[in-house]
Amino acid sequence: MDIRQIGEVEVSAIGLGGMPLSVDGRPDRERAFATIQAAVDAGVTLIDTADAYSLDETDFGHNEELIAEALKGLGTDVLVATKGGHTRGPGRAWGLDGRPEYLRKACDESLRRLGVEAIGLYQFHRPDPTVPVADSVGALAELLDAGKIRMAGVSNFDPEQIREANEILGGRLAAVQNQFSPEFRSSEPELELCAELGIAFLPWSPLGGIGGAAALGSRFRPFAEIARERGVSPQRVCLAWMLAKAPVVIPIPGSSRPESIRDSAAAADLRLDETEMARLNGGNSASH
């Protein structure tokens, strides 16, 4: 598995997004554990989670606890990245809380669930419109200084917010996690800014999300065509396309089956040429 950098830490070029293991439609524990095992066996050393990855408020923290348990005894050095700032409510509702006091408490709870002394990468999950970004990111700076987190990241930030966050953190912003996929390309400016600043860019839902990954090839013709020419899946082509965009890109495809994370991990070995990249970069090119 090729290696990329988050801050000073080396991780696999492809990570595993843990969300599908804990939300609606999640697999049973045996298959969830098998998926994490398959990721590690394939060379994945980055697993992304969040405290809010759960069915609802009654099992808040489910994904963190699941991943911590699955990694016990595997004897592999995996960077577990988690997030705080999203809340869950009745009826499987999602909410936001970016207050510094909430983030400090959320970090302490994540530390407990993950069973670690310091979180490898802690990310502010999403800006809260009722709280200044500077206040929320300021809490990350405090957690860094206190040694509770080793690296700080942000998620769902625009370029101006990324620059502000990096300034507040004294140049210590390690990662930006934004949505990016063949369908959702509006995060190109954030990707380019991260490449310019040397900040890791972690595309979430890189294959189109839980409901869209399987249909990627049927929806975006160039990915299907190159996949046929190369004898691989359209999903593998998609992740290879992202990796080729910039050395800072580290896709974190979600998976709930061992087979899918094995295929995703293999994208690190697929090299696309300039002609193929031009075809894939040429727009959405939907087949319908």
Show which residues are catalytic.
Answer: 53
Distances (CA, A) of 223 to 119, 133, 234, 283: 36, 37, 5, 11
Contacts 24+ apart (CB under 8 A), 107-115: 107/143, 107/148, 107/149, 108/148, 109/51, 109/61, 110/51, 110/61, 110/64, 110/82, 110/84, 111/148, 113/51, 113/61, 113/64, 113/65, 113/68, 114/64, 114/67, 114/68, 114/80, 114/82, 115/68
60-88: burial string, b at 16+ Cβ within 10 Å, e else? bbbbbbbbbebbeeeeeebbbbbbbbbbb
11: phi then psi, degrees, rounded to nearest 5? -135, 170
Query: d(Cα 277, Cα 35) in Å, to the nearest integer?
Result: 30
**Residue recorded with tokens 């983030």:** 103
Which of 202, 162, 149 minimizes the C-alpha distance to 5?
Answer: 202
Letter for the amino acid at 86?
A: H
Tokens found for residue 106: 């959320």
Specify the length of the chain in residues: 288
